[in-house]
A and B are shown apart, each in its own frame.
Chain A
Amino acid sequence: METHFRNVDILVIGGGTAGPMAAIKAKQANPELRVLLLEKANVKRSGAISMGMDGLNNAVVPGHATPEQYVKEITIANDGIVNQKTVMAYAQNSFAMIEELNSWGVKFEKDATGDYAVRKVHHMGTYVLPMPEGHDIKKILYRRLRRERVEITNRLVATRLLTTETGQIAGAMAFDCRTADFHVIRAKAVILATGAAGRLGLPASGYLFGTYENPTNAGDGYSMAYHAGAELSGLECFQINPLIKDYNGPACAYVTGPMGGYTANNKGERFIECDYWSGQMMLEFYRELESGNGPVFLKLNHLAEETINTIEEILHSNERPSRGRFHEGRGTDYREQMVEMHISEIGLCSGHSASGVWVNEHAETTVKGLYAAGDLACVPHNYMLGAFVYGKIAGESAVHYCASTDFLAFDEQQIKAEQARVWAPLTRVQGLPPLQVEYKLRRLVNDYLQPPKVTRKMEIGLARFAEIRADLKHIAAKNPHELMRAMEVHAILDCAEMAAQASLFRKESRWGLYHYRVDYPEINNEDWFVHVQLKKTNGQIHCFTKPVDDYLIELSEQEKSAYQKIRINSAPSIPDSTILV
């Protein structure tokens, strides 16, 4: 096993959605810079959109929505806890990004006059732009990366960032998941775009890799940012998604909703007004699921044959193309049966909820020289288009920073310590298999962190996580591939502890099911209308509050409660107290 050293101006970690865009935009801003895109899998087919995407969830298209409307919508959907500047920076760049992707050959649905065919799914505004032919988006990105001469390295697993004595970024370290070679990459700026922490909870199927998120996204970036001293935010605002039971794909109300499909209870009746994924929607989903009207279904069997054909064509060729064969195996036909749904395992993901590495409107983290974009960066409900926009912002901000920064000196001890940590599992002849430790850890996450959250359970969870931490030094890896799984357990454990600590810190309930604490069941704006930040201090997780910045766009009292009134019949099918016991 060898150790390789290299220097680049900008290192982008993660080649899925935000990462390629960051690298392309950095090269376009200054073609003289050396920009390296480091990917754990292969850039051609990596990340959340490896098989493409069937639509934009948050397109701000003139004539359909304004940036101001969008900022309002997301502020309300996220129960007020947003830094509106970051959401506005997305919204103002949203349409320009659609136009640029369109010019690159990404196909969006258009009407007969050539205008974008935007559809309404959200509670208030109109933001959904279907991409029925969105399956080749990764190929289009890859061609752009080649054209801009971005350097690419595949199958490298980044594990820690290098920092200076004053806490600035100096580079990153990684290992090769096929050779276990160790890589030290010095860089003036680093952009983290490693996606969600998608392997936190265990899916109901019990299959470790049957996660909603691409399981390559194990939370590596959350862990790296934490250990580099960056602030993370909203980690108690979990990602929970309504999915097809046992299959990891969304039922896709965004695709089917505008065509007449909807989420129904066992009677085939609607119980929510709006299928847009918010914490409140998830709470109503959860209540119906656990009630006598449960479980919950996607209802399409009332639709016309042509409509169902179109739905099948979109849903079975994009994003989750194995969906068709899953339904086939179960004998489910949209024409005949409703599709049983369930809620996903928990995760951390700002693309869907609001749990991520804190960034400002320039994609800067609190660590100088470190930028973040995509699912990992805390810009609420940012989705794929937000990843592209923040990738662009991060790339351009990093170029600007590089103009006045040189390679910074750092303590070489960091390299020795990390090399020892990373290679250790390979030196153990006998020990715990990585997947067994992972299974136990993620089963504990389900048992103790899955909402409804209970204080005592989360405390027990932390004690059990501490036992797993003691087990880390016994994990053995027989080859570089198993080593990758072993080091992922380290990252998943960091994420589990951060999720528990942040959840214990916020002593109220907020964001519907995402942070439903049964021993603090009410929202408490007086004490908790704040961000909960988390940071490594003296080697420990430290949580603290951060005031919500003054809004750019004020909300009326009536608008504030729009997302609270999502249930169709005023009384839930089971009273709250039934869930509380």
Chain B
Amino acid sequence: MSNPNNFSSLPVTIDPEKCIANKGCNICVEVCPLDVLAIDPETGKAYMKFDECWYCLPCEKDCPTGAVHVAIPYLLR
């Protein structure tokens, strides 16, 4: 069960080198049906804020720089 306060193996990872959220991109955040991605105000990069993933892939497919990777959540793997 997901709980944002707990240490959790998160399915969505974002490569900060490739992520251009600090240049105004927020596509992955906008397309997520469950609204689980956010931009970290400190780093300016996208990250998975809530472990509530349908592993449906719009975030990965629509990312213009290929920064997003979705893994199958650990419980299903």
Binding site for B on A (CB under 8 A): 41-42, 44-47, 50-51, 154-155, 177-178, 205-211, 214-216, 246-248, 320-322, 325-326, 329-330, 433, 435-436, 439, 481, 484-485
Contact = CB atoms under 8 A, between A and B. Distances in A.
Contact of B77 (A50, A248, A320, A329): A329
Contact of A208 (B2, B55, B57, B61): B2
A322 B34 CA distance: 16
16 contacts: A42-B31, A44-B30, A51-B58, A205-B73, A207-B76, A209-B34, A210-B54, A210-B55, A210-B73, A325-B71, A329-B72, A329-B77, A433-B3, A436-B3, A439-B1, A481-B35
B38 to A, nearest CB: 9
A41 B1 contact: no
Contacts of A433: 3
A250 to B, nearest CB: 14
A205 B72 CA distance: 12
A564 B25 CA distance: 55
Nearest to B58: A45
A206 B75 contact: yes
A155 B37 CA distance: 13
Contacts of A215: 33-34, 52, 54
Contact of A321 (B1, B3, B57): B57
B62 interface: yes
B32 interface: yes
Contact of A322 (B2, B35, B56): B56
Contacts of A436: 1, 3
B34 A216 contact: yes
Contacts of A41: 32-35
Contacts of A321: 56-57, 61
B30 A207 contact: no
B30 A42 contact: yes
B76 A247 contact: yes
Contact of A50 (B2, B3, B33, B49): B33
Contacts of A330: 77
Contact of A214 (B3, B56, B70, B77): B56
Nearest to A46: B33
A214 B33 contact: yes
A435 B3 contact: yes
B53 interface: yes
A46 B34 CA distance: 9
A51 to B, nearest CB: 6
Contacts of A42: 30-33
A436 B70 CA distance: 24
Contact of A435 (B2, B30, B53, B73): B2
Nearest to B27: A44
* Overall SS of chain A's interface: loop
Nearest to B55: A322
A488 to B, nearest CB: 11
B52 A208 contact: yes
A50 B32 CA distance: 9
Contact of A177 (B35, B56, B62): B35
What 6 pairs between A and B have smallest CB-CB spacing? A45-B31, A45-B58, A41-B33, A207-B75, A322-B55, A205-B76
Interface residues of B, number: 27
Interface of B: 1-3, 30-35, 49-50, 52-58, 61-62, 70-73, 75-77
A485 B49 CA distance: 14
Nearest to A203: B76
Contacts of A206: 1, 75
Contacts of A45: 31-33, 58, 62
A51, A155, A207 interface centre (most CB from chain B within 10 Å):
A207
Nearest to A206: B75
A202 B61 CA distance: 28
Nearest to A320: B56
B50 A481 contact: yes
B54 A484 contact: no
Contacts of B61: 51, 321
Nearest to B33: A41
B33 A322 contact: no
Contacts of B54: 209-211, 214-215, 248
A210 B75 contact: yes
B37 to A, nearest CB: 11
Contacts of B70: 322
A436 B1 CA distance: 8
A178 B39 CA distance: 13
A265 to B, nearest CB: 24
A194 to B, nearest CB: 13
Contacts of B55: 210, 322
A325 B61 CA distance: 14
Contacts of B73: 205, 207, 209-210
Contacts of A208: 1-2, 52
B8 to A, nearest CB: 11
A215 B2 CA distance: 14
Contacts of B35: 41, 155, 177-178, 481, 484
Nearest to A328: B72
A89 B70 CA distance: 41
A324 B49 CA distance: 25
Contacts of B3: 433, 435-436
B55 to A, nearest CB: 4
B59 to A, nearest CB: 9
Contacts of A484: 35
B3, B55, B62 interface centre (most CB from chain A within 10 Å):
B55
A439 to B, nearest CB: 5
Nearest to B38: A481
A325 B60 CA distance: 13
A92 B40 CA distance: 51
Contacts of A177: 35
Contacts of B1: 206, 208, 435-436, 439
Given A322-B57, A322-B70, A435-B3, A205 B75 contact: yes
